[in-house]
Structure 1
Amino acid sequence: MRQLSQKWAQKVTVLVMVALGLGISPAWGAQPADFDQLSPLVQSRWNEDDQLLDLSWEDLIPEGFRADAILDQYDPEKIAQLTDDDPLIVEIMEKLQKAYQSAPVVGKLEGMPVRLGGYIAPLEITPEGVTEFLLVPYFGACIHVPPPPSNQIIYVKTEIPIAESLLEDAIWVSGRLSIDAADTDLALAGYTLYSEHIVPIEY
């Protein structure tokens, strides 16, 4: 009985220390605070093995938001007949650009441990490799074509440089996601991710 009582006493001591924050922290990977505030779809992407959210790019877009909704105001057949220098086309492109740059983020993802697959648009290249980049959903985004909406761009900072040989490869990036925006030379990123792990995606 004494041995049983000692075991219970130890468990109670641990619980008290956790409750008071006395040197014992919860294990990495337990579902984070406010996890239950996420949408059921996003919650379903929780990876028990890696203890993080396996996000899709659609998860970064608030429900019901469309960056190109401005096009609904115009006749698509009429737009198709216009030239690139037509004043109406110029007006539409300016409105689209503003909508893309002000695309809202999903605030409930703040601080969540996540993993997301995408491509690198490099910002900072050192002799050791890439240390800052934009993670984008498709190859060439922000470089060869106009950038996607800001909520489809993530600014990534990594302490482990990425080899330039990976610049054309799809990668998995894991870390803590923040809803802090980052205005870079290439594009406005709606999110920031502090990377802890980056690996190529193997097909």
Structure 2
Amino acid sequence: MLSRRILLAGVLQGAAWAAWAREPGYRIIGWDALLPAGWDPWAEFSAGGVDLRQLPDDDPRARAALARLRRVWDQAPTNAALDGALVRLPGYVVPLEQTAQGLRELLLVPHYGACIHTPPPPANQIVHVRLDTPARSVGTMDTVWISGRLQVARSETSEAVSGWKLAGQRVERYTGTPSTTGLR
């Protein structure tokens, strides 16, 4: 399942993290928190008797299955309990809008290459971020922590369909533990 690719796998330790995590109002979450309880991204594809892994890419059944996967994943349900929450989430950057002042808009994704070299993950695993202040020195597939208010909001960009919107208030390099100063 997708949870095996979580970026946060046991790295949130130490005094620096503890101080940062105690900032009032913000909650550190991992990618699994974005999923509704019991949702299985593969449920609709486990039946049918055809082993999709054995099909060549040019097989019409493989193309049909990929199109079906995109439809299902683009409509992936979100965890409504997080709507409006102040959160901190680590992930990889997929730039959308770069200005002379820095990166202004991006997709935050849970694993390297998502939306760039591989098909996008389900929409509930993609966060569309609009930064309050443009971030300098942040580029494609950089790992970052982003803090802000999370909202359930489906949107479609040139790269993917996202199930979340985040008004980004702070961006900082991912080092395993969040620091007390943001990257700008």
Per the normalisation by structure 1, the TM-score is: 0.72
Show the counterpart of 1:124: 97
Question: 2: CA distance between counterparts of 1:89 and 1:70?
Answer: 15
Q: What pairs with 1:82-101 in structure 2 (closer than 5 Å)?
A: 82-101=55-74
TM-superposed deviation, 1:148: 0.3
Q: Calculate percent identity across the aligned residue pairs.
A: 35
The structure 2 residue matched to 1:146, chosen from 110, 119, 125, is: 119
Q: Does 1:70 align with 2:35?
A: no
Taking the TM superposition and a 5 Å limit, the aligned residue runs for 1:1-203 are: 49-51=22-24, 52-75=26-49, 78-203=51-176
AA in 1 matched with 2:81: K
Distance 1:120 1:80 in 2: 29
Residue ranges of structure 2 left out of the alignment (5+ in a row): 1-19, 177-184
Partner secondary structure for residue 72 of structure 2: helix
Higher RCO structure (Cα 8 Å, ≥6 apart): 2
Q: Give the structure with the larger strand fraction.
A: 2
SS in 2 for 1:146: coil
Question: Counterpart of 2:55 in 1: which secondary structure?
Answer: coil
Gapped regions of structure 1 (runs ≥ 5): 1-46
- 2:16 corresponds to which residue? none
Q: Distance in 2 between matches of 1:84 and 1:67?
A: 21
Count how many residue pairs are aligned between Structure 1 and Structure 2: 156
TM-score (norm 2): 0.78
